[in-house]
Structure 1
Amino acid sequence: MPMPDFLRELRSHVGNRLLFLPGVVAVVLDDGGRVLLGQRADNGRWALISGIAEPGEQPAQTAVREVYEETAVHAVPERLIGVYTTPVVEYPNGDRSQYLDIVFRCRAVGGQARVNDDESLEVGWFALDELPELHPRQRAALDHALTDGPAWFEAPTVPAQP
């Protein structure tokens, strides 16, 4: 996966230290109720479309940009699904990151799904009853996107009252 220029610059100052980064995940659905997935080039897993927000970029715009950059599909964010924190990730080069992922439900409005950059091996639309295996966090985000409930977040731990 290519590292954004701003992150490369930041890494030149902080080295491999843990960075807490804003991420965006897009649950893109078409008119037939299928979900758009990409097979990641870094680990071969099928996943929802995601990426890092760039400085000054609104999260919904990040979702639109990442979906197009990775899949050539034009999408419109419809609603906020939830906010999730990932476990710390250590990359082969030693960089450590943790992501605060903002998840949007999006509707596809144009384009033809295809591999549009070097981040994916394959891209495709999947019926909900024919999904490849997804990471449990990805599956949870998809499940939350398919409900009409409020935005999801992990409830804080409240200390016991004396």
Structure 2
Amino acid sequence: MATPDFIKNLRSTAGHQLLYLPGVTAVVFDDAGRVLLGRRSDNGEWSVVGGIPEPGEQPARAAVREVFEETAVECEVERIVLVQTLRPVQYENGDICQFMDVTVACRATGGEARVNDEESLEVGWFPVDALPEMREFSTFRIMQALANEPAWFAPAEDATLGDAGLGVIPQGR
């Protein structure tokens, strides 16, 4: 995920200290029940689509925007799948962020899946019984979206459940 300008501005005065930021993740299904995935350019791994809302942007709008920007697929949000605070991550340049992720289930409404920006190496639709290897972050969100249950929240005693922990990731993410 490219670093938004508003975060670059914050970093100019905040330095590398921890920033607590909103994040959105979209689990997009087509009419055949396949899920939309992108292979990320920063780490080469397959993942569901996500990003950071702009200041004042609603999470649902941010999810729709991120999906289109990265994949050229148009979609609409159907429901919240989960809300979870993730463990902090440290980027190669020393910046530390912690995201509170709102994951939404979406239905594709148009467009052709393709690489639409520099954040993805590949984009495609996958049957849920033939997913490529992915991190737990993505598979958990896909399974929660398929469960069609009320929104999942991390237990109060472990608000960071299900993430790999503080690790260094490329700056472009």
* TM-score past 0.5 threshold: yes
Shift of 1:86: 1.5
**Corresponding position of 1:114:** 114
Instruction: Find the aligned partners of 1:157 and 1:21 in 2 and give their Cα distance.
Output: 21
Query: What amino acid is the match of 1:123?
Result: V
SS of 2:141's partner is: helix
Question: What are the within-5 Å matches in structure 2 for residues 37-52 of structure 1?
Answer: 37-52=37-52
SS of 1:146's partner is: helix
Structure 2 portions without partners, runs of 5+? 159-173
**Corresponding position of 2:103:** 103
Query: What amino acid is the match of 2:156?
Result: P
Instruction: Find the aligned partners of 1:9 and 1:147 in 2 and give their Cα distance.
Output: 40
Instruction: Find the aligned partners of 1:157 and 1:5 in 2 and give their Cα distance.
Output: 34
Q: Deviations over 1:43-100 (max 9, x none)?
A: 0110000000110000000000000000000010000001012211110101001110
Shift of 1:2: 2.4
Shift of 1:155: 2.1
Instruction: Find the aligned partners of 2:128 and 2:157 in 1 and give their Cα distance.
Output: 33
- Are 1:58 and 2:61 an aligned pair? no
SS of 2:155's partner is: coil
**Corresponding position of 1:2:** 2
Query: What amino acid is the match of 1:85?
Result: T
- Are 1:139 and 2:139 an aligned pair? yes
**Corresponding position of 1:127:** 127
Aligned residues: 158
| Identical columns (%) | 56
Query: What amino acid is the match of 2:15?
Result: G
4+ runs of 1 displaced by more than 3 Å? Answer: none
Instruction: Find the aligned partners of 1:16 and 1:157 in 2 and give their Cα distance.
Output: 28
TM-score, structure 1 length as denominator? 0.95
Instruction: Find the aligned partners of 2:36 and 2:92 in 1 and give their Cα distance.
Output: 28
Instruction: Find the aligned partners of 2:155 and 2:15 in 1 and give their Cα distance.
Output: 33
TM-score, structure 2 length as denominator? 0.89
Instruction: Find the aligned partners of 2:16 and 2:148 in 1 and give their Cα distance.
Output: 40
Query: What amino acid is the match of 1:12?
Result: S
Instruction: Find the aligned partners of 2:101 and 2:127 in 1 and give their Cα distance.
Output: 24
- Are 1:87 and 2:87 an aligned pair? yes
Instruction: Find the aligned partners of 1:48 and 1:2 in 2 and give their Cα distance.
Output: 16
SS of 1:130's partner is: coil
Shift of 1:157: 2.8
Structure 1 portions without partners, runs of 5+? none
Query: What amino acid is the match of 2:76?
Result: V
